[in-house]
Amino acid sequence: MLLEFALENWRSFTNFTALDLVEDGERYKKQREKLSYPKKYNTGILPIIMLLGENTAGKSNFLAAVKFVVDSVRAGILYFPSGSPVEFALNVVCKEKPTTFRLAILIGGTIFEYALGIRKAALEYETIAEIKPDGERRLWAMNSCGRFYFFRDEEKVRLFKTEDKNQLLLTLAGKAGFAPYAALYEAISAITVLTKQALGVGIRDEHELHRLKRFILAMDTGITDIQIEPLLPEDIPFKTIAASAGGKADQTLTPKQLKLSDSVVKEIQETLQKPIYPVGTEIRLKAFIPAVDPGIVALKTGIGIMFRQYHYFHGDGVPLAPDEISSGTQKLLRLAPFLLNLFEENNKSVLFIDDFDELFHPILALHLIRLYLRSCSNNSRKQLIFTTRNMDCLVSRLLHLDEKWIVKRDSDNGSELLSPSQYKGICDMGERLRRESRSRV
């Protein structure tokens, strides 16, 4: 479970900012039944966090920081977002300062703290510490100048020496299976950050497909059945303009007829083979070729890439084209596998969702949150962190005050993350947000 994520000098965040997922004991007395209580630590860990803010407040930038750390650990090297700045760009001083990240994570009954520092696209430092009730113990520290290592086993020092200055030692130690680094590597790699991309998680078997059908029926979307058809690359149907293949407009053609099969398949394979995408990742082909059916996806498996097509039906088995499905239902279909996994009692995942309730009716968004909270208990080890612009979530009684955080712009046009302790209550939070929003109009 995630206890804290902190950053500094990242995109719109110029100052040190920390998201704390540990309860405030005095204010959480009435809702303790859904908190997780790890042994050895006399505290509870929050199962859900809402990040509320207006447009351009910095919500997506905060989740991008989490994704950057997770992707870098998965890849074993600093994985910079293409075409996007890292340091706060509106201040000359910040361009010379390092960008830092720190997360505290609970694994079993032990808390580990992992920290990264970056300066001008190069690794500045990497540290791991073990935190116990009686104090903190440094497991290792590394910097780009002296490259210091603190291991209990000298053989590991020689094993992990590398010429690549941006190589992350946590990934090397984790993949090599050294304890406790392997557990920390797996825990960070398992964190999922969902942004507005065409990525999803694939349905693995009939049980998961049946579970998805029941969920979609219960949400009253109008979809009565879902079927999945395996496809070979040469059988993927395309709809294209006549001039591109010398045929009639909207004629269904294969990649061979369009002479796109080899290049398209190779591009998809190269994309999904990146280490930042775990096995089970699903990507819509429409992200590569606009003319392809929206229901056709590529799935990353343990042995390669497979293609398949989702078929939807409504009423008494009447086919429903994917582009005829409402935008809100399409988003629900993409999120459903992640949410259903999260609803499982023994699930231990940490899920971040950007603009969780975008395109959803407010009642549906609150219902999904309610379903998740019903699955939480003192023994749960799962968490949901989402961003929203919906002020209704602020006054909802589903979430406690500790679970509601505000993202806003400061006087220097930088982003800041405000904890509930910085407000007197819900009314004060709402009134200050409305007042600041009106002042910009």
CATH classification of the domain holding 115: 3.40.50.300
Q: Do 289 and 270 belong together in one domain?
A: yes
156 and 286 belong to one structural domain: no
Is 339 inside any structural domain?
no
Residue 212: the pLDDT is 94
Which regions in the chain score pLDDT beneath 70? 25-43, 83-84, 144-163, 197-198, 238-261, 421, 423-441
Q: Are residues 296 and 231 in the same domain?
A: yes
| Amino acid 352: pLDDT | 96
> Looking at the structure, do residues 60 and 166 belong to the same domain, yes or no?
yes
pLDDT of residue 203: 87
Residue 341 placed within a domain: no
* 344 occurs within a structural domain: no
Residue 343, in any domain of the structure = no
Does residue 115 fall inside a structural domain?
Answer: yes
223 shares a domain with 183: no
Residues 205 and 187 in one domain: no
- Residue 242 has what pLDDT? 35
Of 267, 296, 331, the one marking the end of a domain is 331
Residues 52 and 390: their CA atoms lie apart, in Å, by 7
Same domain, 15 and 150: yes
Check whether residue 40 and residue 124 sit in a common domain: yes
pTM: 0.87
Distances (CA, A) of 189 to 63, 175, 390: 15, 11, 30
Which pLDDT belongs to residue 285?
Answer: 83
Q: What is the pLDDT of residue 160?
A: 59
Q: Give how many domains the chain has, as a whole number.
A: 2
Is the same domain home to 57 and 176?
yes
Note the pLDDT of residue 34: 59
Domain boundaries, position 204: 200-331
**Is 94 a member of any domain?**
yes
Same domain, 233 and 143: no
Does any domain span residue 336? no
Does a structural domain hold residue 338?
Answer: no
- Please give the Cα distance from 118 to 78 (Å, whole number): 9
- Both 74 and 184 in a single domain? yes
In terms of domains, do 140 and 61 share one? yes
